[in-house]
Amino acid sequence: MPIVVGQDTAKTRRTLSAGGKTFAYYSIKAAEEAGLGDFSKLPAALKVVLENMLRFEDGKTVHVEDIKAFAEWAKKGGKNPKEIAYRPARILLQDFTGVPAVVDLAAMRDGLKNLGGDPEKINPLNPVDLVIDHSVMIDEFGNPRAFQMNVDREYERNMERYTFLKWGQSAFNNFRVVPPGTGICHQVNLEYLSKTVWSDTDQGGEMVAYPDTLVGTDSHTTMVNGAAVLGWGVGGIEAEAAMLGQPISMLIPEVIGFELTGAMVEGTTGTDLVLKVVEMLRAKGVVGKFVEFYGAGLDTLPLADRATIANMAPEYGATCGFFPIDNETLRYLTNTGREEETIALVEAYAKENGFWRGDDYAPIYTDTLSLDMGTIVPAISGPKRPQDYIALDQAAKAFGEYIKGQRPEKSAPTDEKNEWTDEGGQPAPAHIPGDVGHHKSHAVKGQDYRLHDGSIVIASITSCTNTSNPYVMIGAGLVARKARALGLTRKPWVKTSLAPGSQVVSAYLEAANLQEDLDAIGFNLVGYGCTTCIGNSGPIAPELSEAVNEGDLIATSVLSGNRNFEGRISPDVRANYLASPPLVVAYALAGDMNIDIAKDPLGQDKDGNDVYLKDIWPTSKEVADLVEQTVTREAFREKYADVFKGDDKWQSVETTDSLTYDWPATSTYVQNPPYFQGMAAQPGVISDVKGAKVLAVLGDMITTDHISPAGSFAQSSPAGKYLTDRQVAPREFNSYGSRRGNHEIMMRGTFANIRIKNEMLDGVEGGYTKGPNGNQESIFDAAMEYQAQGTPLVIFGGEQYGAGSSRDWAAKGTALLGVKAVIAESFERIHRSNLVGMGVIPFEFTGGDTRKSLGLTGDETVNITGLEGDLQPLSEVPCEITMADGTVKTITLKCRIDTAIEKEYIEHGGVLHYVLRDLAAA
């Protein structure tokens, strides 16, 4: 269908020629000539948003004043937080967030039908691509059968979901599905779906060129900013509204300029660079802001490294990390098989409309910081936050300090020789540094080795973050080759895996004959998908799991991903480290975080000689030469030729051809959610929160993984009991992420992370709280009891509440548990928006008040007033807290309903209710 542009935009419309064709476009220079302001010094990232205003100006949702506000932004030194209505060109979904999004669309068809409307009105108006990448789990590894066996299990587990998605592909217009086994959505987006500059006919039939923009239901949608495609993650509910034609309400952001100078030095990787960038930007504080990278250092920075930096924008807290269009952008588009006319259009458009990063590129930024890439050293980050940067030569020491902090009760030497021995009388491994008395170890049944604190039980080359980068993937293969030649292999307790983000990776690893070397040391292909990074690491060997849990050991993982939050990677692993793929291989050889792999031996060669990291580390030239030889345009074109076709398994998935979905009553994967049941034709009003009880008091950096985990769950959990009651065997539980199409599972999984700590309870980990009777019980059970009594609930939190993934179920689950308000010290951008989108009001403490300063125990009763009547965005309102002893404290909260449209969403009960009523009225 044609793109829709604004009706009042003729004064800024111009034409350009590229590749032998003529295109209309919306000219920033023409806007200046029309007297709308001086936009010449805007950063390229903000010019993309400005072009969006020019193209959609209609005097209704986008006004001339919105365009002039960008000139004011420049005049005010990079600040002018005016509310605007932004419309991305397309939407990207993955299956964990995509299934509930399609469930909601299907439910909206039912809801619209019940309101007397036409269900066919529920259709994406903007192109939507859903990539199935989150479902493959590493059950099998370290052998040639691993890939096929994992694929087979994936289909066995997920057939209900895949049947539903295939129905959606045929039922909805403008909706495509990339089948399982193709790759990770962000890598597929970067390598194939994106174009940097798009073109399409408008409603008048004229071909229009415009910047490629998108939002995605995954926080790492930001990866494509490395190719100058402006995109960021949103919750599924916000994406659904965008699909249905609703603009995204946002404030003109601040843009932080990050200058890169110098060049990377021998022995370092793009991963080392991005981990330093994450540390610097998280310390800077860029939540809700754009970051744009500039400087002479970009001249030597490959787009693959740029994409790695852009990918981890959620880890440094920014809305996005943008790289302007330059010669490297064109080189990448060429090398990845884009059409020549597309590349010609990108260059012509960027230069004509002021998006090109040339030698004279010098925009105004809100603030800046700088990094000399020549100072980068090998590094990892962990054990539980991406910003916890550690130089590699300090990693073993840092791990020892972490262990000491986890085990303050243990003493050091315990025998007459002044040497520590564990509970079994076994001496501590010689390489454990420092105060060894804080380490524990435990025998492994049937094996001739013991596990101890720091034993690496998972080493995974995983995630689009790094597997999209041929330099680090070829580097990992060369480390494997050199290690194999010397006779080294992974330690027997390490579960190794290779899960590339696209089939192109396998093509060039095989072309370089490196896959054989990776196979030889245990890094066999296990699937094309997120795997370990999303928590689909699969089980470790039972005897290892038993040793870890019986010995209360702090087992570790090393992965080439972007997330290492507590409880995310594996229930058996408490310390997780992010590293480059070559370092993942090296750590698999070492098998232990206590080993200083920068200087200690990784093992011995065939002759018993010590082998060090320097002995197996490839040179930059070795890597670059192989990349040049094997990463070809032809490989990309071949692997993406039939990207939507899928394999025989996908083609054999049968589905029905119907306008509305026939919800299977017995399905434990897909159920009709309750959001629109009994919905009135008219919206309600915002009510004060009265007589609310506290469901949880949570600390700082509570992530969406804490709120709505994606990984496995126990039979004893509320979700496990629900499935057991329906005769589902534990082997078939799959994961929370795969069951996001069933609200019954997801409600039971809300605040159910095994590592979450509710401060209402004394040191207890897991999803527990005090119920109405004061006894400890699961959060789900307590919430249902309060709901039966008609008692509203509130959550208290600390700083950066809702960090991490764009997980809409973190907000949906919160709403379905009956939570009316979340009160925190600060919110991460996406989660705050998601809460509003589900009708839950976010509030921030003011005046220095915090959960700690107030002495909250969870036994309080909360009243929040000032919400009824003419509530203005960002108003301050009174909150009365009645303590357990009857005393009353009154504090002031900032209501984080940020914009006028968000107020309407709350009045309607959520953004989807708003859209549904709007469509019914039309």
Query: Given this model, what pLDDT does residue 815 score?
Result: 96
- The amino acid occupying position 38 is D
Range with lowest mean pLDDT among 1-15, 444-458, 754-768: 1-15
SS3 of residue 634 by DSSP: helix
Q: What angle do CA 908, 913, 919 make, to 5 degrees?
A: 115
d(CA 145, CA 525) in angstroms, rounded, equals 9
d(CA 516, CA 542) in angstroms, rounded, equals 28
Beta strand 230-233 with 456-461: parallel, antiparallel or unpaired?
A: unpaired
Is the confidence at residue 193, as pLDDT, over 70?
yes
Query: Given this model, what pLDDT does residue 805 score?
Result: 75
Domains and CATH numbers, the chain: 10-86 (no CATH), 90-375 (3.30.499.10), 379-634 (3.30.499.10), 689-708+757-921 (3.20.19.10), 710-749 (no CATH)
Is the confidence at residue 591, as pLDDT, over 90?
yes
User: In percent, how much of the chain has pLDDT > 90?
Assistant: 77
| Average pLDDT rounded to a whole number, residues 665-677 | 91
What number of other Cβ atoms are within 10 A of residue 151's Cβ?
20
User: In sequence order, what E strands does 440-595 have?
Assistant: 441-443, 450-452, 456-461, 495-498, 556-559, 575-578
Placement of tokens 């989108």 in the chain? 837
Query: Given this model, what pLDDT does residue 422 score?
Result: 54
Query: Given this model, what pLDDT does residue 106 score?
Result: 93
To the nearest whole number, what is the mean pLDDT of the chain?
92
Which among 98-112, 237-251, 625-639, 646-660 has the top mean pLDDT?
A: 625-639
Q: Select from 262, 333, 343, 337 the least CA-distant residue to 303.
A: 333
Q: Please give the model's pTM, rounded to 2 decimal places.
A: 0.86
With cut-offs at 50, 70 and 90, classify the pLDDT of residue 266. Answer: very high
Query: Given this model, what pLDDT does residue 696 score?
Result: 98
- The amino acid occupying position 554 is I
Q: Select from 535, 921, 571, 501 the least CA-distant residue to 717.
A: 571
Rounded to an integer, what is the distance from CA 148 to the centroid of its chain?
Answer: 27
Query: Given this model, what pLDDT does residue 416 score?
Result: 40
Q: What angle do CA 228, 231, 236 make, to 5 degrees?
A: 165
The residues, any chain, with a CB within 8 Å of residue 556's CB and separated by 6 or more, are 383, 399, 454, 455, 456, 457, 458, 573, 574, 575, 576, 577, 593
Q: Select from 694, 676, 823 the least CA-distant residue to 108.
A: 676
Burial (CB count <10 Å: 0-12, 13-18, 19+), residue 888 = exposed
E strand or H helix that includes residue 819: strand 819-824
With cut-offs at 50, 70 and 90, classify the pLDDT of residue 419. Answer: very low
Strand partners, 459: 496, 558
DSSP 193: I
Could you tell me how many residues make up the chain? Answer: 922
d(CA 29, CA 43) in angstroms, rounded, equals 15
E strand or H helix that includes residue 467: helix 464-467
d(CA 189, CA 782) in angstroms, rounded, equals 42
d(CA 877, CA 563) in angstroms, rounded, equals 36
In the sheet where 255-261 sits, what is the strand order? 320-322, 290-294, 255-261, 367-372
Query: Given this model, what pLDDT does residue 346 score?
Result: 98
d(CA 167, CA 497) in angstroms, rounded, equals 33
Q: Select from 903, 905, 833 the least CA-distant residue to 867.
A: 903
d(CA 437, CA 610) in angstroms, rounded, equals 27
Sign of CA pseudo-dihedral 74, 77, 81, 86: positive
Concatenated DSSP letters of 162-184? HHHHHHHHHHSTTEEEEPTTSB-
With cut-offs at 50, 70 and 90, classify the pLDDT of residue 414. Answer: very low
User: Between the CA of residue 224 and those of 269, 287, 467, 503, 527, what are the distances in Å?
Assistant: 20, 19, 14, 18, 22
- The answer to whether residues 311 and 223 touch, using CB atoms and an 8 Å cutoff, is yes
Query: Given this model, what pLDDT does residue 698 score?
Result: 97
User: In percent, how much of the chain has pLDDT > 70?
Assistant: 96
User: Between the CA of residue 256 and those of 261, 286, 799, what are the distances in Å?
Assistant: 16, 8, 21
In the sheet where 456-461 sits, what is the strand order? 389-391, 379-381, 575-578, 556-559, 456-461, 495-498
| Average pLDDT rounded to a whole number, residues 354-381 | 97
| Average pLDDT rounded to a whole number, residues 5-18 | 81
d(CA 104, CA 837) in angstroms, rounded, equals 13
Each residue's pLDDT tens digit, 846-863: 999 999 999 999 999 999
Range with lowest mean pLDDT among 411-420, 526-535, 842-851: 411-420
d(CA 20, CA 26) in angstroms, rounded, equals 19
What number of other Cβ atoms are within 10 A of residue 883's Cβ?
15
E strand or H helix that includes residue 648: helix 648-651
What number of other Cβ atoms are within 10 A of residue 402's Cβ?
23
Which of left, alpha, beta for 589 (phi over 0: left; psi -120 to 50: alpha)? Answer: alpha
